[in-house]
Amino acid sequence: MRTAEIMRKTAETDIELYLNLDGDGKSVIDTGCGFLDHMLTLFAKHGKFSLNCSCKGDTQVDYHHTVEDIGIALGTAFGKALAEKKGIVRYGQCVLPMDESLILSAVDISGRGYLAFDLEVPTQRVGDFDTQLVEEFFIAFARKAEITLHIKKMAGVNSHHIIEGTFKSVARSLRMAASIDEAFKDEIPSTKGVL
């Protein structure tokens, strides 16, 4: 079973996270940030991942440490659950419409952490959530998961729709890339023999 449990405690956050890549899309999320809870719930559902995440963070400051550290923990769990990456499809992509927004994401489970982020969000906040934190989340996630991740907004004017479309699109790309290709289930999908 491709699962991981992460406990990460710093002076700023205390995180417990469980991830099952071959799950059922159900989640229990309590980060102290309602908007992030919503995004992670969507992420689990559209990735078909089982995800439990709780965080006690210094939200009296703002949500920055909580969002970034959950990105770190989730990326770490993703990489750990993939283990040696034998049999995975490796690549995944999704162009996802969310009302007026259209979001492209593409992923390579490459062993190299990189984020290309072209996501203009028109407002600084959605509720009390700082929209700059979307990039911080995905930087942390891509680095710790050791994946190459491209995110691009192709259309969109509503900040909530743009961000929601992003989390859904990335989840579906990851689901595709992390899935097992039965024709190559005993092989590492690289000429190097390692990812």
pLDDT tens-digit series, residues 121-177: 999 999 999 999 999 999 999 999 999 999 999 999 999 999 999 999 999 999 999
Nearest to 92 by CA among 136, 47, 58, 34: 47
The class (CATH top level) of 3-184 is: alpha beta
What whole-number distance in Å separates Cα of residue 26 and Cα of residue 22?
Answer: 11
pTM of the prediction? 0.96
pLDDT tens-digit series, residues 20-65: 999 999 999 999 999 999 999 999 999 999 999 999 999 999 999 9
Write down the domain spans for the chain.
3-184
Give the E-state strand segments of 23-159 in sequence order: 27-30, 50-57, 91-98, 101-108, 114-118, 125-126, 129-130, 148-155
